[in-house]
Structure 1
């Protein structure tokens, strides 16, 4: 119960905090009038659509890595983590190239208003960079969650959102009059910071030690004892599956 709570609570709080921050960012966008509010809603909606796609990559990676660690197979877990990164990078790169080719038309799913399409297209390059970073960051966070390191992702996300993204958005967009683009530059900066932290942590993590901790924390049911020589593969911790959050 304690292990489950320690993994679930940070993820739940992080989801709440991130969604509140998204609402605050929308309020900042409101400073620039109805057109920017509408354009921000369109771009954010497209962001969430792509987020759902890469959430699947992250969730799949998280489940497989946790299972392999629980089976005391650290080398396989590490290889699976790398595979998750590769699949994500290839997919997001292809999507980015496609978005650059069709430009503003990518937002016609939401509106046919040419003025709104032009506003959305003005932030498309930084949007693409931000989401490429976000997709990679999601897989990194998934691997950390599979190891029970949810507190790292929760604290990093909360601090990066409230101490970097929102202050930067307000200062550059409102105070320095950077406008709509400044909002998405702040998002990109926040995602880059999170990715740097996650990669730094992952490079220092010992998969063998994580597998040892995973096996130690497993609760083996009595009716599963003796299966194939007295061992059975379980996920290392009550795994916290990533939950969708808004940009």
Structure 2
């Protein structure tokens, strides 16, 4: 903001107002491009055309974005990620088998667990009986999905086992091929300089008159633009 104010010879407050006005315009216009599919209207990629994955509704994973260190001690604790060893915001991302971002949670502090952000993001309420969701091994919450009549499939656990059964090895191999979609989509989102971080605190702090932060708007706009790009398949 300081750099832009200097380059255009205007006040920093004017730059901030212009930035947020355009961010709101982009969010309002493009935000609808990230939407949950009502029906399966697209031809599934080959990797999903099998008995196990043909009912996959989405592939989920969490991603984190670095933020500046908060001065408030409580906020500092809530945003500190043991995995990243840094203060972060964490977002749950859902990707369709056809390679589009179909679900985004709001931004949470990096300390939140995968289970908590999944349960409280509203994702489970979108699932219908028979839906299948693929996730990484960290999403140890099959019962939460079962209560909705859905199935969560994660890779087979190898801890404490010298060798996995042949069928589990083959299933894990197919899962890896299917889950690569979400890794590529998140990678495309992280290509945008604005979310490479660290984000300033004022972009991730929730205002009293708003349910979402500027960070939420930025992430959704980036995801919407990614959805307009060429398919990853």
TM-score computed with the length of structure 2 as normaliser: 0.31
| Between structures 1 and 2, the one with greater strand share | 2
Larger relative contact order (C-alpha < 8 A, sep ≥ 6)? 1
TM-score computed with the length of structure 1 as normaliser: 0.29
